[in-house]
Amino acid sequence: MTGISGWVGALDRVNNPEEIITGMANRLSRGDHDRHFLENLKKTSGPDGGVALVSRYDFNNIAILDDFHATVCGKVIWQNPTLKSLAEEQGDACALIEGYKRYNSNVLKDMQGVWSMALISPKRKMALIAVDRMGVYPMCFGLGRKNEFVFSSVTDGVRAFPDFVATISPQNIYNYLYFFVVPAPTSIFDEISKLEAAQFAHFQEGSITTGYYWQMPYTSEKSGDLEDWSQRLREQLDKSICVSLDGVDANRVGAFLSGGLDSSTVSGLMMKHNGGGKSFTIGFDDPKYDESEFARIAAGHFNTDHNEYFVVPDDVTSIQEKIAEIYDEPYGNTSAVPAYYCAKMAKEQGVDMLLAGDGGDELFAGNDRYVSMQTIEKYGIIPRVIRKGLMEPVFSIPGMDRLPVFSRACSLSKRYAIPMPDRLYSYGFFFDKKPESIFNEDMAREINPDLPLEIMRKKYYYDDDSQMLQRMMHLDLQLTLADNDLRKVNRMCDLAGIEVRYPFLDSELVDFSASVPTDILLHGGELRFFFKHALKDFLPEQVITKEKHGFGLPFMTWIHKDKKIYEQITDNLADFRKRGYLKDSFIDEVIKACQYPDGSSAGGFSWDVAMLEIWLKKHI
């Protein structure tokens, strides 16, 4: 992958600054697929600090001026005319230094686009690091043994700093299993933190402060003119695809195409503005997961050069270890497998850059829970005296939740009693289980079971004035998009050796999405109503009317049938058992669920725990 590494702080005399910064930069390479980027390694270092840059873009550089050392990885769209002109003449890093000298960390407010940045001053013993608004580019940081500020795009880069201590606690394992990723601002290591989307970390006078230079500018309006907003959406989509296509060979462009709203829109816009392009679809032999028919409809409608690959169980076992190796933290989303094979297929077809539709659901109200959570809220309209004095005592009678007339009302009552955003995860396996029922006793004592919920609550309640729908979308922009989907697609495209860009995450389109009134977004409680209405004359009717279909892998179906997958997963479960984190009874329950299709829901953890074990073997 590409990225930045560096530090600020005095080194011991025995340490060689050049060797340190080179070692930290080398950790940015995750294997043979991206080692060629190290040929363009740029670095500067001294006894009190250093910065290294590994980028796919030749125009990214390191600038040094007045003891400021700065670099940017990615593409900045400058909003300040003076800084924009300076960037065009001398590069983004020079503009960053000038902007910091003028505006301090407020310079970040003028930086749109997709990027990560680092600015240090060894003499001043200060550093500023930040990532783009949507968190496409990652960055993590921590304090060294002598209070040095150490940062990198990957945790391995931070750990490469001399004598840096990085420990994995039971809490971090719990957080990972709760979400099947490790959510920012935490990491799998106690001593390393990750930046969230639009966040910065400022190190000065030996202490770290963090903050957000931007937040979603959600409107307080609830209604508006549907046709006017629809026209504006179409215009913004046209602009965003042009930004994504900038600087790319038109003959080497492709798009992920699942057959859903967002990937179909991106594929269509590619054809409209690029004049051609290839589309790539993954299929399965399981109809519950296969969307290839809809992808073919969209491909035919837009006349893309369409390509398909059907993933089979052997594909899973052959790529599992490579997936664990490329991530700097454990990652448990099974859809990384089809994402990789889709990107690999594109690379083999001569594509250099893939367009992805990630972000559409989180920006334009496309997740099922946006409707279901608001439906539950309607239960609260019933006067409290009636709910508490009449209805809920009846619901509490044993067996009432099994009666057809009362089951729905009982369920609404139960869910409504759980406050947001906890309610969103109340369906999860961990929600009502104590750590000691899953973890061994000595490990469970170190776990705060409320911490994952605290992380969610902070993201959900970022703005007291926002509406419920907006809060849920903001939470998903952080947890579902930045912490999960972008990590998946970015790393799998890295592994396949191909660049990926996200038209929906264009800064102007993101700002526009936040300005759309909520009653237009979810008109009549219909998911993606606004988006579908605006594009009804652009997308095929079958795509607009199809039921929402997640991009997943039929893993639990395959593990019951395929001996090779079963053995590879259970062997790693057995190895993880030896580490002493989880109770033997829980591991046994997970393995048993892998044998029987109708077994415990704990079977879903088989992949997550196996990937954790493989990751530990590869990285620790």
Q: Where are the alpha helices (DSSP H) in 327-403?
A: 336-348, 360-363, 368-377, 384-386, 392-395
**Tens-digit pLDDT profile for residues 323-332:** 999 999 999 9
Cα atoms in the 13 Å half-sphere on the side-chain side of 386: 5
Characterize the bridge pairing of strands 140-143 and 126-131. Answer: unpaired
Cβ neighbours of residue 535 under 8 Å, at least 6 residues apart?
233, 234, 261, 265, 544
Nearest to 40 by CA among 52, 24, 23, 27: 52
Is 24's pLDDT higher than 90?
yes
Please compute the mean of the pLDDT values over residues 517-533 and round it to a whole number.
Answer: 91
Please compute the mean of the pLDDT values over residues 198-225 and round it to a whole number.
Answer: 95
Is 598's pLDDT higher than 70?
no
Determine the pLDDT at residue 490: 97
Binned at pLDDT 50, 70 and 90, residue 596 comes out as confident
Is 160's pLDDT higher than 70?
yes
Is 177's pLDDT higher than 90?
yes
Question: Mean pLDDT of all residues in the chain?
Answer: 94
Dig out the tokens for 143 from the structure. 């304090």
CB atoms within 10 A of CB 441: 9
Residues 140 and 159: beta-carbon distance below 8 Å: no
The span from the CA of 415 to the CA of 266, in Å, is 37
The span from the CA of 346 to the CA of 529, in Å, is 32
**278-283: strand order across its sheet:** 305-310, 278-283, 253-256, 353-355, 499-501
Binned at pLDDT 50, 70 and 90, residue 600 comes out as low
| Cis status of the peptide bond prior to 183, with omega within 30 of 0 | no
Instruction: Please give the DSSP secondary-structure letter assigned to residue 445.
Output: T
Binned at pLDDT 50, 70 and 90, residue 167 comes out as very high
Determine the pLDDT at residue 429: 86
**Tens-digit pLDDT profile for residues 74-83:** 999 999 999 9
Please compute the mean of the pLDDT values over residues 46-62 and round it to a whole number.
Answer: 96
Is 527's pLDDT higher than 70?
yes
DSSP characters over 19-57: HHHHHHHHTT--STTTGGGGGG-EEEEETTEEEEEE-S-
**Tens-digit pLDDT profile for residues 370-388:** 999 988 988 889 999 998 8
Please compute the mean of the pLDDT values over residues 114-140 and round it to a whole number.
Answer: 98
Characterize the bridge pairing of strands 149-152 and 3-8. Answer: antiparallel
Binned at pLDDT 50, 70 and 90, residue 403 comes out as confident
Domains of the chain: 3-212 (3.60.20.10), 226-365+479-545 (3.40.50.620), 368-472 (no CATH), 555-619 (no CATH)
Determine the pLDDT at residue 550: 65
**Tens-digit pLDDT profile for residues 405-434:** 788 888 888 899 999 999 998 888 888 889
The span from the CA of 485 to the CA of 501, in Å, is 13
Residues 122 and 48: beta-carbon distance below 8 Å: yes
